[in-house]
Amino acid sequence: MAKKFPPGRCTHCLNFFDKLTADHVFPKSWYPESTPENLEKWQIPACHRCNEEYGKIENDLLQRIGLCLDPIEISSLGITDKVLRSIKPEYATSKKDRLHRQKKREKLIRSLMPRNQVPQEAFFPGFGAPSDRNILGNFVVRVPKAGIKALAEKLVRGITFIVDNRFIEKSHFIDLIVADEKSAQDLIEIIRRFGDQYHKGPGIRIGRAVAQDNIDSAVFEIEIWRRFRFYATVEPRESS
């Protein structure tokens, strides 16, 4: 059920609104079918505009990344199927819906590329190896970095609000770090030693460590579907 938030600030743009919507930190549709039914899905206050804008970005990412997942992996159970259904015109409930599905399908097809034309370093960490169970076969799908950056920013703001009941003010900025586990070793070690882990069912895991001398600075590890993993930092804008 959607939470009700009293008038206050939007977690994302930080402006004050009389009316706030309940924004899911992790989109509802991203939770795999293996998620326990009674799991509390984190919700945060957001203005209508931010909620809608992030909704579009998340949908686009889900479409693309969903196709690259293993359809029978328990941590992402049902995600690939959901994406496939959403682009099949035969599931349409109206003429408009049918057109919408066709458009989505065409857009996705346009972002496909033959695997052998993509250099290894262009793959998102964890997605470079071909798999028998990958429905894309010899194709790969382009994922916009700006979308992942926006997602990282949203999740970091959301998790900070949930855990600390705080906003990340304009004095700080959020940086996305795309790295494989080996390159991110130092960061992972800091989180493991000094941080906390949060699990949201089998599909979502977050690690977070906050700096001891400045609670606004933090490092994050975000892992979705055990596969889509990235890191983020929150730092002061001007280093003194």
**Interface with Zn ion by CB under 5 A: which residues?**
10, 12-13, 47, 50
The DSSP symbol for 108 reads: H
Cα–Cα distance list, 22 to 42, 45, 100 (Å): 9, 5, 26
Q: How far are the Cα atoms of 86, 126, 216, 240 from residue 237, in angstroms, in the given order?
A: 41, 31, 11, 9
C-alpha–C-alpha distance, residues 171 and 168, integer Å = 8
Which of 13/162 has CB closer to Zn ion?
13
Question: Least distance from C-beta 20 to Zn ion, angstroms?
Answer: 9
**C-beta closer to Zn ion: residue 13 or 92:** 13
Residue 151, Cβ neighbours under 10 Å: how many?
22
Closest CB 50 distance from Zn ion, rounded Å: 3
Radius of gyration of the chain (CA): 19
- Closest CB to Zn ion among 52 and 81? 52
Smallest gap, in angstroms, from Cβ of residue 24 to Zn ion?
15
Least Å from the CB of residue 49 to Zn ion: 6
Q: Which is nearer to Zn ion, 88 or 172 (CB)?
A: 172
